[in-house]
Structure 1
Amino acid sequence: MENNRNYFPLHFLGDRLEFPPVETANEDGLLAVGGDLSPERLLLAYKSGIFPWFNDDALILWWSPDPRMVLFPKKVKVSKSMRKVLRDGSFKLTQNTCFDEVIEQCAFVERKGQDGTWITSKMKAAYAELHKKGFARSYEVWENNNLVGGLYGVDLGDVFCGESMFSLQPNASKFAFIKMAQELDEKGYRFIDCQVHTDHLESLGAELIPRKRFMELL
Structure 2
Amino acid sequence: MPVEPPPSRWAFPPPAAFPDGDVVALGADLAPGTLLAAYRRGLFPMPSDGPGSPPLWFSPVRRGVLPLTGLVVSRSLRRSCRRFEIRVDTAPAGVIDGCADPARPSGWIDDDVRAAYLRLHELGWVHSVEVWRQGRLVGGLYGVAIGGLFAGESMFHRETDASKVALVALVELLRDQHADTRLLDVQWSTPHLASLGVVEVPRPVFLRRLAAALPLPSPFD
> Do they superpose with TM above 0.5?
yes
Residue identity opposite 2:29 in structure 1: D
Q: Distance in 1 between matches of 2:137 and 2:100?
A: 15
1:199 corresponds to which residue? Answer: 191
Task: Tell me which of 69, 72, 77 is aligned to 1:77.
Answer: 72
Task: Tell me which of 37, 41, 53 is aligned to 1:44.
Answer: 37
Deviation at 1:159, TM superposition (A): 1.2
Task: Tell me which of 10, 16, 40 is aligned to 1:17.
Answer: 10
Q: Residue 56 in 1 paired to residue 50 in 2?
A: yes
Number of equivalences: 199
TM-score for the superposition, normalised by structure 1: 0.86
2:100 corresponds to which residue? Answer: 107
Q: Residue 178 in 1 paired to residue 172 in 2?
A: no
Q: Residue 155 in 1 paired to residue 179 in 2?
A: no
Q: Distance in 1 between matches of 2:133 and 2:21?
A: 39
> CA deviation digits over 1:94-120, x for unaligned, max 9?
000011111011001644xx34x2111
SS of residue matched to 1:53: strand
Residue identity opposite 1:217 in structure 2: R
> CA deviation digits over 1:147-180, x for unaligned, max 9?
1000000001211000000000110000000111
Q: Which has the higher helix share?
A: 1
1:7 corresponds to which residue? Answer: none
1:4 corresponds to which residue? Answer: none
1:128 corresponds to which residue? Answer: 118
1:167 corresponds to which residue? Answer: 157
For structure 1, the 5+ residue unaligned runs are 1-14
SS of residue matched to 1:166: strand
Q: Distance in 1 between matches of 2:102 and 2:190?
A: 17
Q: Residue 32 in 1 paired to residue 25 in 2?
A: yes
Deviation at 1:28, TM superposition (A): 3.7
On the 8 A contact 2:64/2:187 being kept in 1, the answer is: yes
For structure 2, the 5+ residue unaligned runs are 1-7, 211-221
Q: Distance in 1 between matches of 2:195 and 2:43?
A: 24
Deviation at 1:186, TM superposition (A): 2.4
SS of residue matched to 1:149: strand
SS of residue matched to 2:153: strand
Identical-residue share of aligned pairs (%): 40
> CA deviation digits over 1:179-213, x for unaligned, max 9?
11121012524120000111221111110000000
Runs (4+) of structure 1 exceeding 6 A deviation are: none
> CA deviation digits over 1:7-30, x for unaligned, max 9?
xxxxxxxx7332013354444401
2:87 corresponds to which residue? Answer: 94
1:215 corresponds to which residue? Answer: 207
On the 8 A contact 1:22/1:31 being kept in 2, the answer is: no
On the 8 A contact 1:66/1:210 being kept in 2, the answer is: yes
On the 8 A contact 2:131/2:140 being kept in 1, the answer is: yes
